[in-house]
Structure 1
Amino acid sequence: MHVTVDKASLLRELDEEYTVSPEAIAFYRKNGYVKLKNVLSPDVLQYYGDVITQLVLKLNTLTKSMEERTTYERAFLQIMNLWREDSTAREFVFSRRLAKIAADLMGVDGVRLYHDQALYKEPSGGFTPWHADQFYWPLSSPKTTTVWIPLQDTPMEMGPLAFAEQSQSVEIGRNMEISDESEQVLQEELTSRNFHVNDTPFELGEVSYHAGWTFHRAGPNTSDVPRKVMTMIYMDQEQTITRPINTYQEADWTTWLESYPIGSKPESALNPLLFRKQ
């Protein structure tokens, strides 16, 4: 049976405001992440999820077998900046609804896009090691956040994202790339310091936001279907570019910030303003 999509209603939903409770904002600022239910409807996730999946299949270049891959490669297929590849994907990435939540959680007047990325953990895909995203970003302020949007129900066997609560405020492991070593060292460090880890399933329509320095990981996908996730990274509109301190930040500065001058705001065409308070 062919179902007609009411595109106007989908676009309206992506633009409409989602009210973030004061409790959710306080939780995010204390713990470095928050999970929010019913942020996106099944219709939006189905429609845009299909488009994102088609782009992942089209653009993916990782064709090695699982046995041949590194730990990082086994964790997921990773496709960046879908918004520049497809106008429909752009509608989703540029969602004012999702960008305003980011601004509300961080307590800023506006947010720019750093970049988007689809993260597809294949059946038999491995775990994602403990890491903090901002290790990779040449940005001066911790006011960054990533929205993690599962495109399906995500039970434990599919490897939902897990967060070490309040880890954004401690300077441990900030010099570690995502690797087997980061998994081991950070697991030991987080355990010894008694960090509480939130490792729970995601319902359809539930999303999470986590700060750039919040440590997070994901288990393997032991189900027989892909764990499909779309993410967008937001930064405070007042963010400035700092001098890269590792090769990953050098690459990010060139790739995602168009080598804009050190000390300036990342205002290139690659980093559009997605929300600003009126």
Structure 2
Amino acid sequence: MLTDCLPSLDDFITIAPQQVEDFRRKGHTLIKGVLRPEEVPPYRNAINEAAYKYNTEKRALEERDTYGKAFLQIMNLWEVDKNVRKFTLAKRFAKIAADLLGVENVRIYHDQALYKEPGGGFTPWHQDQYYWPLSTTNTITMWMPLIDIEEDMGMLTFASNSQNAGFVENIEISDDSEAVLEKFVKDKGFPITRAKTMNAGDATFHYGWTLHNAPGNQSKDITREVMTIIYFADGAQVTEPKNKHQENDRQVWLGGLQAGEKAASVHNPLVL
């Protein structure tokens, strides 16, 4: 597929002020029709082609741990595939992210395809920003299904208002994080929120500190195809890593920049 055949995604979508307010209060929001129906098939085909080409997970589901059963995870496809690059660097998505955060400019942290296979396991409770050595709370993840999905296919599930808790526990996505963070969510009384259905091209957006999980994919023959993009406010600095995963991210997604330097490596282009 040639990039010239892919629809341009550089126009802007206006978000209602109430939706921005809800996002900042609850830590997440669902925006319908971020991709128009006619835009979904060409981008779905492009992302699928790249995701399966670069997927390195060859083990059967039953051979994997909880994290491995949760999804196939293929990261930073924009750097290796020109068609995905057009998707990930879309100004339409970046403008939504910036408007929700209330900032002028955002950079890419990384993208990732998250494909939950038929029979795939649950995604444990976690915070995305546990992995990111960044000095700002103005971080946001766009989570977009490329097919129509229902909640029993692995719908993203949020602990509303949990973004204000900040760094809750120094714990990676695992059975331990599920147990520890589920207790935290219950003890704090955070409302549990998830959509019943999402159409292909709809997208949720959530803060990096918003606690979230997802049920397993109970479908017998349909893979839950989701593409995600992580953004952060321009001007953020790299912080001293708090765990081995943040050190890995500092090296891989932040180009080895040192703590105190502006988070603006070649891997973090300014999209807006």
Is TM (by shorter chain) over 0.5?
yes
Deviations 1:135-173, CA, capped at 9 Å, x for gaps: 001001111000001001110121110111000011463
Partner of 1:250: 247
TM-score (norm 2): 0.95
Which of 230, 241, 253 does residue 233 from structure 1 map onto?
230
Deviations 1:257-278, CA, capped at 9 Å, x for gaps: 0011211111221110000xxx
Within 2, Cα distance between the matches of 1:80 and 1:157?
A: 24
- The code of the aligned residue for 2:222 comes to V
Partner of 1:167: 162
- The code of the aligned residue for 1:72 comes to Y
SS in 2 for 1:273: coil
- The code of the aligned residue for 1:86 comes to D
- 1:42: how far off? 2.1
Within 1, Cα distance between the matches of 2:32 and 2:43?
A: 18
Indicate whether 1:259 and 2:256 are aligned.
Answer: yes
Structure 2 unaligned blocks of 5 or more: none
- The code of the aligned residue for 2:270 comes to L
- The code of the aligned residue for 1:274 comes to V
Asked if the contact 1:138–1:241 (Cα under 8 Å) also holds between the matched residues in 2, the reply is: yes
- 1:207: how far off? 0.4
Deviations 1:26-58, CA, capped at 9 Å, x for gaps: 011111111111111122221111111111211
Shifted more, 73-82 versus 44-53: the winner is 44-53
Deviations 1:77-99, CA, capped at 9 Å, x for gaps: 00011111111110000010000
Partner of 1:136: 131
Indicate whether 1:214 and 2:214 are aligned.
Answer: no
- The code of the aligned residue for 2:202 comes to E
Asked if the contact 1:11–1:91 (Cα under 8 Å) also holds between the matched residues in 2, the reply is: no
C-alpha change, 1:226 and 1:65, in structure 2 (3 Å) is: same
Within 1, Cα distance between the matches of 2:136 and 2:3?
A: 37
Partner of 2:183: 188
Indicate whether 1:87 and 2:120 are aligned.
Answer: no
- The code of the aligned residue for 1:156 comes to E
Partner of 1:150: 145
- The code of the aligned residue for 1:247 comes to K
- 1:174: how far off? 3.1
Deviations 1:84-137, CA, capped at 9 Å, x for gaps: 111111000001000000000001110000000000001111000000000001
Within 1, Cα distance between the matches of 2:142 and 2:238?
A: 21
Asked if the contact 1:138–1:253 (Cα under 8 Å) also holds between the matched residues in 2, the reply is: yes
Which of 252, 257, 267 does residue 270 from structure 1 map onto?
267
Asked if the contact 2:115–2:224 (Cα under 8 Å) also holds between the matched residues in 1, the reply is: yes
Within 2, Cα distance between the matches of 1:204 and 1:80?
A: 20
Partner of 1:74: 69
Structure 1 unaligned blocks of 5 or more: none
Partner of 1:48: 43
Within 2, Cα distance between the matches of 1:121 and 1:134?
A: 21
Within 2, Cα distance between the matches of 1:104 and 1:205?
A: 19
- 1:65: how far off? 1.3
Partner of 1:60: 55
SS in 2 for 1:274: coil
- 1:203: how far off? 2.2
Q: Percent identity?
A: 45
Asked if the contact 1:35–1:209 (Cα under 8 Å) also holds between the matched residues in 2, the reply is: yes
- The code of the aligned residue for 2:150 comes to P
Within 1, Cα distance between the matches of 2:208 and 2:42?
A: 29
Superposed CA RMSD: 1.6
Within 1, Cα distance between the matches of 2:102 and 2:5?
A: 29
